[in-house]
Amino acid sequence: MRAEIGIGTRMPMISCASGKFLQAHMTEEQVDSLFPGEALPPVTARSLGTKSELKALFPEIHGLGYALNEEEYAEGISGVATGVADKNGTFIAALSVAGPASRFRDEMWIGQLMEAAAKVAELLAGRL
């Protein structure tokens, strides 16, 4: 199985781990401005259907420090993402990894992903 997402590909923020992580760290007003209505546009059969469902994930994302995508952008593909913070602690970007859902295990990637995000944050802050 091969899944390829080319450079410059745009993904709906509601259906990828990076987007969900970044939205979890936005203000409620910012999220509401992105999605004024309650219904969210469907991407796959596993996509979140409502803004309430999306917002219900935010406390878990905050607690874990990462977000998941479970076949929400493309059927058969799952992923995990964490954020890159600036020197003030504001998340300005996200790093993610994805793979075939049948054998993708987020726990295999979370530690390395969070370590890489911390290094990028240090580089941005001029500490490395």
Bridge-based pairing state of the strands 91-100 and 67-70: unpaired
| The pLDDT of residue 10 | 83
| The pLDDT of residue 4 | 67
Q: What's the pTM value of the predicted model, to 2 decimals?
A: 0.91
What is the distance between the alpha carbons of residues 46 and 15, in angstroms, rounded to a whole number? 9
User: What residue spans of the chain are helical by DSSP H?
Assistant: 17-24, 28-34, 51-64, 110-125
Classify domain 17-125 at the CATH topology level.
Beta-Lactamase (3.30.450)
Sorted by where each begins, the domain ranges of the chain are 17-125
**Residue 61 corresponds to which amino acid?**
I
pLDDT averaged over 10-residue windows placed end to end, the chain, 128 residues: 70 94 97 95 93 97 97 93 94 93 92 96 84
How far is CA 75 from its chain centroid?
Answer: 17
What is the distance between the alpha carbons of residues 90 and 116, in angstroms, rounded to a whole number? 17
